[in-house]
Structure 1
Amino acid sequence: MSSAVVPDHPWLLPGHLVPARAPRRTPRDWFVDALLFLIALGWVLVAHDDAMSRSPDFALNIGPDWLIGADLFVGLLASAALWLRRRWPIGLAVATAPLTLFSVTAGAALLIVLFTVLVHRPLRVGLTLVCWNVAATLPYIVLRPDPALPLWAAVAWTVLFLGIVMAWALFVRARRQLVLSLRDRAERVEAEQQLRLDQARHLERSRIAREMHDVLAHRISLLSLHAGALEFRPDAPAEEVARAAGVIRASAHAALQDLREVIGVLRAESGSEATPERPQPTLGDVPALVVESREAGVRVSVVDEVTGPAEVPVAIGRSAYRIVQEGLTNARKHAPGTVVTVRLAGGPGDGLAVEISNPWPVGGPATVIPGAGTGLVGVAERVSLAGGRLDHGRDAAGDFRLTAWLPWAVSA
């Protein structure tokens, strides 16, 4: 079923969807419509029987004799027309409005139509219909006077009765608007909660993907470096071959273990609080990373000027480790054989500065080891999320330099 947004509908909240065509009646709707039809039909029979009895004490004033048959016909017609009140309430109200001037038997059906318009249609339309019923009281009393009541009393009773019907209809209208408001709010909260869960899941998977890139790129670059050394030096001493093979085996095992655990986290249902169990390095693991690179044949020089390294926050230390790891990996890929300088400096309140530099290779960067080209993008995003700054490129001396600054607040 097609729907349309009605921004300023008088009885629905702004932006609420209403069906483009009238929905089918539910079993409850059929029950209510049948009950109202029987009530209106019952009133037609009671009013007509009372008019025919002509009881001097209880009979309704019927007016001229010809009016009895006409009143019965229009009462039955108005009762049958109640089946159209859901689809065309305003049209039905306009069509039956003249009956208020003379009909007794159509009274119940007319009140039901008035109630429907007040509940489901713009309030100004319902109030207009109420004013018409009040105005029609005088012609009705003139045509069918009641000798037991003076004119003012008959008008007062009519206005009081219409006021009760209008108050009841407005109460039902307000209650339905409240239910629609609560339902709309609940649907929006549910949709927003689902959106937050999807966003958290997406962010978590993106973060795990960055972790996987950082770890696997580093280990696979070691594998490529050692495999290349074995390829170009098949006559190397047995000790060097065995050591290179051991590094290849250990790096491959570690890479497979990292990949297995990261994929396990991706398969699990992870929310915004979930974090991968492995790897979670810190600033204290940088020396081991440097040793691993030196064993792979990379010449690394380290300058450590960090004040109170044990006080570095875990998240900042992990980001610093990843920055150093990415810098060493890029140096092995694009500038093999050069000396890589790693400098760490800073302290609480001053922030943590990380700098990785290496001379620009002769003849331009090498591209022996392939890469996805997204390592620095991931590092930049990591630094940005931490509230830091990142810069990379060739400096005035012609060296390639990767520098980052991470905030390090003073612990309370």
Structure 2
Amino acid sequence: MPASPVRTDLALSGLATLFSVVEALAGDGSPVGLLRHSPLPDAAVSVLLGLATLARRRFPRWVAAIVVIGDWLAYTPLILALAVFTIGVYCKPAWSWLVASCTLALNAMTSTLTGDRPLVSFVAQALVFLIAPAIAGTLVRERRQQYEQITVRAERLEQSRARDVEDARREERTRIAREVHDVVAHRITQVVLLTGALELNAARGPAWVTEQAARIRGSGTQALDELQDVVRVLRAAGAPQRPALEPQHSIADLPALVAQTRALGSDVSLTLTGEMAQVRPSAQRTVFRLVQETLTNAAKHAPGAPVSVLVELRTGNQPRGDTITVTVRNGPPSGARPVNVPTGGHGLIGLAERVRLHGGRFRHEHTGDGGFLVTASIPTHPADESPEQDHQEEEA
């Protein structure tokens, strides 16, 4: 446990004062100073200076000035050394050397007038009681400043680390929400639409009802399987080895997605242009999710409307290099909704985030005929993304 500053000041001031008083009373007064060979006045000055040093932390300059004058009158070397050391700790180095210079000048003048001290003794005492305390005080001050700087830097680093952790958590929550939405929203929407159609068309016969029930069961099973894949990834995020997952969706899976949507009664056309194998896997997955979400939105908001999907790889003299463009257009709704499908309003926002993460552009708007248009442009290999980053994103 560190010592109390008050106790430290009392101890140091008491020892310095005691030394000066004993020095004055033991002989015939101090050997130097204007009050030399005057024991009682010399001892009185020593006591007064010792009391003044108790305030050295709050008023280091004033105390130093008083001690310098007092030392000129009496011989108080330890009190002087304490005052010089204190001003070195609490004031700029220039103050320490100013005090030392004034003390040397006064004592040199006194020695010259009286001739009491030889030059060697004068220089030795100056080194011990002035120069050394000034240097020691300056070193302590610099050490304290370095410690304060290190403390401030550590606090800033801790705050920065806390902000980074919070940002990472926020990004992770956003990513999880996006993944769960992509996995669940499409399949559950299919289940809701199929259930609504079943409710409205139950009179079409047992065979048709059985077929619809099988489709509902298939969509629900696929939703559970894909959701379990996401959960396994989340649980294994801190594990040394991640579990083996099913291959991620790519542009090659778009025909099967369109076929599933057609089986629900939607009129969907798909056009693929270009060699898609050169597109990086993470971009292919984004294209798949974009088409999946737009088909889901079309089924919810424009049932019965024709939907056209165009995925085109543009190469050659493109301003941003080779890009893959996705255009999904649906016409106005041609029939009533089979059921009131709830919407969260985050699908398009999530798509825009996905596309921008790849350095792409995303746009959506209503068309003049009452339909809806979604367009996206994604670079095949952006310059600021390394293969390692692409692999890490694909694992996520």
TM-score, normalisation: structure 1: 0.77
Please name the residue that 2:270 is paired with.
302
**1:404–1:66 CA distance, 2 compared to 1 (3 A):** same
2 CA distance for matches of 1:279 and 1:220? 21
2:69 maps to which of 93, 98, 107: 98
The question of 1:28 aligning with 2:25 is answered no
Query: For 2:350 and 2:80, how far apart are their aligned partners in 1?
Result: 72
> How do 1:177-216 and structure 2 match up within 5 A?
177-216=145-184
Unaligned 5+ segments in structure 1 are 1-26
Q: Is the 8 A contact 2:332 2:369 kept in 1?
A: no
User: Relative to structure 2, which stretch is displaced further, 353-362 or 166-175?
Assistant: 166-175
What is the letter of the counterpart of residue 51 of structure 1? A
Q: Identity over aligned residues, as a percent?
A: 32
- What is the rounded CA distance, in whole Å, between the counterparts of 1:65 and 1:297 in structure 2? 116
Contact 1:215 1:255 survives alignment (8 Å): yes
Query: Given the alignment, which residue of 391, 394, 401 partners 2:366?
Result: 394
| Amino acid corresponding to residue 345 of structure 2 in structure 1 | G
* More deviation, 276-285/109-118: 276-285
Q: Distance in 2 between matches of 1:81 and 1:29?
A: 21
Give the superposition deviation at 1:235: 1.0
SS in 2 for 1:163: helix
- SS at structure 1 position matched to 2:304: coil
Mapped to 1, the partners of 2:339 and 2:365 lie a distance apart of 17
Judged with a 3 Å threshold, the aligned counterparts in structure 2 of structure 1 residues 65 and 306 are, in CA distance, closer, same or farther, namely: closer
Q: 1:63 and 1:300, CA in 2 relative to 1: closer, same or farther beyond 3 A?
A: closer
Do the aligned residues in 2 keep the contact of 1:341 with 1:358 (CA within 8 Å)? yes
Q: Is the 8 A contact 1:350 1:407 kept in 2?
A: yes
Q: For the structure 1 residues 289 and 84, does the alpha-carbon distance in structure 2 shift closer, same or farther, using more than 3 Å as the test?
A: farther
Per-residue deviation, 1:380: 1.2
Equivalent-residue separation in structure 2 for 1:206 and 1:275 (angstroms)? 23
1:49 corresponds, among 5, 22, 47, to 22
Distance 1:114 1:65, change over 3 A: closer
User: Aligned pair 1:233/2:201, yes or no?
Assistant: yes
Q: Which structure is higher in helix share?
A: 2
Matches within 5 A, 1:1-400: 27-30=1-4, 34=7, 37-38=10-11, 40-54=13-27, 60-61=31-32, 64=35, 67-105=38-76, 107-138=77-108, 140-141=110-111, 145=114, 147-149=116-118, 156-157=123-124, 159-161=126-128, 162-259=130-227, 262=230, 280-307=248-275, 309-346=276-313, 349-361=321-333, 368-395=340-367, 399-400=371-372
Deviations 1:83-128 (A, max 9, x none): 44334434433454432321323x3123222212212223444444
Equivalent position of 2:379 in the other structure = 407
1:15 aligned partner: none
Q: What is the root-mean-square deviation in Å for CA atoms of aligned residues?
A: 3.7
- Distance apart, 1:342 and its partner CA: 1.1
Residues 37, 82 of structure 1: 8 Å contact kept:
no
| Structure 2, unpaired ranges of 5+ | 316-320, 388-396
Alpha-carbon offset, residue 378 of structure 1: 1.5
> How many positions carry a matched residue from both structures?
376
